[in-house]
């Protein structure tokens, strides 16, 4: 599947829409051809009806042939609607659904490429809304344009064309509709756009709060704060309701004013035409009056379709703008054209590394790093300790490549991390954090996440070394037991051991343990620590922890404070040098 979406420009939605459908243009055109055939009775039946009425007034010898000929034409036009409709649905659906699928795929691919900083500044709910609701809104707008839009345009053109041939005097009357439509559009579109923007923002906010509430259910239940959580979410429901009501009220006013204006115009044309027929002027026949009435109704219906489409188009344009917030972002991790590492030994060199978060992020919770100098040899275990906000997590994020130093250089095996394809480096990297990320799937799928087919003996070895074999064997279906999203049915120790098994399967050369046992009780920590010892053997390891149990195998410990390394040494050297200061970081296991 080609998920590429090129030329996306949210400031030019019409051009963007055309570019979106360019790969499917032939299917779209074929669908439109059958749509025109399907809708053709709308434009032919008024002529047939007018001819049949005029046939009633003809002499019998002329009237009957005219009657049967027009009746046959009408029947054929009506019957062909069935096959034309089926073929239209087949081809238009292929174009619309393929484009919808391609746009969603482009969004999730771009989300995978965008920087971690981008994701940290935006809620999961708002990103989910873009992938689901916004793409759906673009598809609905497109369907309206190729259905109602094409019908309306062709209806106006046919009505004006036929009228120009049979009753040219009434053509100027039809052109009165054009300034009316323009006036109504100008009068209402700006306010409609504003209300659509407001509604769009409220929906994203609501989605974020609902997702947050669902995620926080265990915490909420544990602290008996259900009422506060519900009040927060329900307040967002109220905001959506009020914004939606404002949008609906304005849309209803828009539709009502337009309908009254157009129906008055239709009534005026009908009365004027009837007066001319009664007076015998311009040679108009009763059939001409019926034709005039039918095409006036057709133009009125077309204009009403335009009016009805306007809110859908505005919502679609707003969704294109929202999607553009992702597809047009430039803060991506650019690996194209950079050399890939053939293998990683695990040597690191930090040279005067500084890091500062962008001011636009609005986050000052984590410390910046200043002047970090550190040399790590392959296979060495480095402990990292320090108070909250000292820069420990930032340092780990730099190691993974989530962030890039604002000054200085980080080298792995002599290669600047900024100059290599980070994907090749990360294939030799594993991270075990405090919170284990598990998805809704089987135990096997969670352990082998991101890996090709894994031999059963290798899987069993990883499970055994992670001290998780007894737990898995006790599950109803073993490795094929389904676990819910986040592994909520598992204990913290069980989730951590699954994460260790996942890391063991990857056989990394570089390992990052970020508070991997801090949330566990003593019994669980001992089991997990035993598995971690096997995982760390022979690998370059960075350990962020407070407890000595996790750091007892560290070759060196660096102490961070306010983003600087203030001291380094072995655990025993630190404890012996300043026991009062470092006992807080090195609690007995």
Mean predicted lDDT score pLDDT of the chain:
81
**What percentage of residues in the chain have a pLDDT greater than 90?**
10
pLDDT mean over 161-188: 73
- For the ranges 81-95, 142-156, 289-303, the lowest mean pLDDT is seen at 289-303
With a cut of 80, say whether residue 575 has pLDDT above it: no
- Residues 308-326: tens digit of each pLDDT: 787 788 889 989 999 988 8
With a cut of 50, say whether residue 361 has pLDDT above it: no
Mark out the alpha helices in 439-513 (DSSP H runs): 443-447, 456-465, 469-473, 492-506
169 contacts 160 by C-beta, under 8 angstroms: no
381-385 sheet: strands from edge to edge: 429-433, 510-514, 540-544, 381-385, 556-561, 564-569
Beta bridge partners of 483: 441
286 contacts 53 by C-beta, under 8 angstroms: yes
- Of residues 131 and 575, the one with the higher pLDDT is 131
CA pair distance 225, 218, nearest whole angstrom: 10
* pLDDT-derived band at 362, boundaries 50, 70, 90: very low
pLDDT mean over 454-466: 85
With a cut of 60, say whether residue 218 has pLDDT above it: yes
Regarding pTM above 0.75, the answer is no
CA pair distance 44, 295, nearest whole angstrom: 10
CA pair distance 431, 512, nearest whole angstrom: 5
Residue 464 neighbours by CB under 8 Å, 6+ apart: none
| pLDDT (0 to 100) of residue 500 | 83
CA pair distance 468, 562, nearest whole angstrom: 38
Read off φ and ψ for residue 376, nearest 5 degrees. Answer: -120, 125
**447-465: b (≥16 Cβ within 10 Å) or e:** bbeeeeeeeeeebeebbeb
| pLDDT (0 to 100) of residue 186 | 64
With a cut of 90, say whether residue 412 has pLDDT above it: yes
CA distances from 235 to 224, 227, 231 (A): 19, 12, 6
With a cut of 50, say whether residue 354 has pLDDT above it: yes
| pLDDT (0 to 100) of residue 415 | 92
- Of residues 202 and 588, the one with the higher pLDDT is 202
* pLDDT-derived band at 542, boundaries 50, 70, 90: very high
CA pair distance 472, 589, nearest whole angstrom: 27
Mark out the alpha helices in 360-468 (DSSP H runs): 392-400, 422-426, 443-447, 456-465
**354-388: b (≥16 Cβ within 10 Å) or e:** ebebeeeeeeeebbebbebebebeebbbbbbbbee
With a cut of 80, say whether residue 544 has pLDDT above it: yes
* pLDDT-derived band at 182, boundaries 50, 70, 90: low
- Of residues 568 and 60, the one with the higher pLDDT is 568
With a cut of 70, say whether residue 547 has pLDDT above it: no
Residue 197: DSSP 8-state: H
- For the ranges 81-95, 191-205, 360-374, the lowest mean pLDDT is seen at 360-374
**Residue entry with tokens 């290798």:** 458
CA distances from 208 to 72, 222, 232, 544 (A): 60, 22, 11, 31
- Residues 557-568: tens digit of each pLDDT: 998 888 899 988
Beta strand extents in 139-218 (DSSP E only): none
CA pair distance 7, 4, nearest whole angstrom: 10
Residue 74 neighbours by CB under 8 Å, 6+ apart: 41, 44, 45, 48
- Of residues 575 and 479, the one with the higher pLDDT is 479
Q: How many residues does the chain have?
A: 589
| pLDDT (0 to 100) of residue 366 | 47
* pLDDT-derived band at 408, boundaries 50, 70, 90: very high
- Residues 29-53: tens digit of each pLDDT: 898 889 888 888 877 888 888 788 8
578 Cα distance to chain centroid: 52
Of 13, 10, 149, 28, whose CA–CA distance to 99 is shortest?
28
- Of residues 200 and 104, the one with the higher pLDDT is 104
- Of residues 429 and 287, the one with the higher pLDDT is 429
Read off φ and ψ for residue 483, nearest 5 degrees. Answer: -120, 145
**Highest mean predicted confidence (pLDDT) among 152-166, 256-270, 311-325, 573-587:** 311-325
* pLDDT-derived band at 378, boundaries 50, 70, 90: very high
| pLDDT (0 to 100) of residue 365 | 45
* pLDDT-derived band at 68, boundaries 50, 70, 90: confident
- Residues 189-217: tens digit of each pLDDT: 667 778 877 887 888 788 888 888 887 78
Measured N-to-C along each axis, helices 135-144 and 13-20 cross at an angle, to the nearest 10 degrees, of 90
pLDDT mean over 6-12: 83
* pLDDT-derived band at 524, boundaries 50, 70, 90: low
Residue 547: DSSP 8-state: B
With a cut of 90, say whether residue 411 has pLDDT above it: yes
Per-residue tokens: 479: 């490795």
Count the neighbouring beta carbons within 10 Å of the beta carbon of residue 321: 17
Residue 300 neighbours by CB under 8 Å, 6+ apart: 177, 262, 263, 265, 266
Read off φ and ψ for residue 265, nearest 5 degrees. Answer: -65, -45
Per-residue tokens: 324: 């553009």
């Amino acid at each position: 599947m080609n998920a590429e979406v090129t030329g996306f420009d949210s400031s030019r939605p019409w051009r963007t829409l055309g570019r979106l459908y360019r790969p499917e243009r032939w299917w779209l055109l074929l669908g439109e051809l059958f749509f025109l055939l399907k809708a053709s009775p709308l434009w032919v039946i008024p002529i047939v009806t007018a001819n049949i009425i005029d046939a009633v007034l003809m002499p019998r010898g002329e009237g009957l042939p005219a009657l049967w000929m027009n009746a046959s034409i009408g029947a054929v036009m009506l019957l062909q609607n069935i096959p034309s409709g089926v073929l239209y649905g087949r081809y238009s659906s292929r174009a619309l659904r393929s484009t919808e699928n391609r746009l969603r795929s482009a969004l999730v691919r771009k989300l995978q490429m965008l920087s971690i900083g981008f994701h940290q500044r935006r809620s999961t709910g708002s990103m989910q809304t873009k992938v689901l609701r916004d793409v759906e809104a673009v598809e609905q707008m497109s369907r309206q344009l190729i259905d109602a839009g094409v019908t309306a345009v062709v209806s106006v053109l046919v009505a004006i064309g036929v009228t120009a041939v049979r009753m040219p005097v009434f053509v100027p009357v039809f052109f009165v509709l054009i300034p009316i439509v323009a006036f109504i559009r100008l009068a209402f579109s700006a306010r409609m756009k504003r209300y659509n923007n407001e509604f769009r923002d409220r929906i994203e906010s609501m989605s974020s709060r609902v997702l947050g509430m669902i995620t926080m259910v265990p915490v909420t239940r544990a602290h008996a704060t259900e009422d506060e959580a519900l009040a927060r979410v329900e307040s967002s429901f109220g905001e959506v309701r009020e914004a939606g009501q404002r949008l609906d009220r304005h849309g209803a006013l828009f539709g009502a004013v337009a309908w009254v204006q157009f129906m008055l115009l239709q009534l005026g044309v009908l009365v004027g035409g009837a007066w001319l027929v009664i007076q015998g002027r311009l040679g108009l026949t009763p059939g001409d009056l019926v034709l005039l009435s039918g095409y006036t109704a057709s133009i009125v219906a077309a204009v009403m379709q335009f009016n009805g489409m306007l809110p859908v188009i505005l919502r679609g344009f707003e969704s294109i703008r929202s999607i553009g917030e992702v597809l047009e972002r430039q803060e991506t991790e650019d690996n194209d054209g950079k050399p890939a590492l053939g293998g990683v030994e695990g040597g690191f060199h930090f040279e005067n590394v500084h890091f500062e978060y962008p001011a636009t992020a609005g986050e000052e919770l984590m410390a910046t790093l200043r002047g970090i100098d550190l040399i790590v040899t392959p296979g060495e275990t480095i402990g990292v300790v320090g108070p909250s906000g000292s820069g420990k997590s930032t340092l780990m994020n730099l190691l993974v490549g989530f962030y890039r130093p604002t000054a200085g250089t980080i080298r792995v095996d002599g290669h600047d991390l900024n100059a290599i394809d980070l994907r090749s480096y990360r294939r030799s990297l594993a991270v075990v954090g405090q919170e284990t990320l598990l998805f809704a799937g089987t135990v096997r799928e969670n352990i082998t996440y991101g890996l090709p087919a894994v031999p059963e003996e290798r899987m069993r070895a990883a499970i055994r070394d992670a001290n998780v074999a007894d737990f898995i064997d006790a599950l109803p279906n073993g490795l094929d037991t389904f676990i819910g999203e986040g592994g909520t049915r598992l204990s913290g120790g069980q989730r951590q051991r699954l994460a260790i098994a996942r890391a063991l399967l990857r056989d990394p050369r570089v390992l990052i343990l970020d508070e991997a046992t801090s949330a566990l009780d003593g019994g669980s920590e001992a089991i997990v620590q035993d598995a971690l010892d096997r995982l760390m053997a022979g690998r370059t390891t960075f350990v962020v922890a407070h407890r000595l149990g996790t750091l007892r195998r560290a070759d060196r410990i660096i102490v961070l404070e306010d983003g600087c390394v203030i001291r380094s040494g072995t655990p025993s050297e630190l404890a012996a040098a300043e026991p009062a200061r470092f006992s807080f970081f090195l609690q007995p296991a």
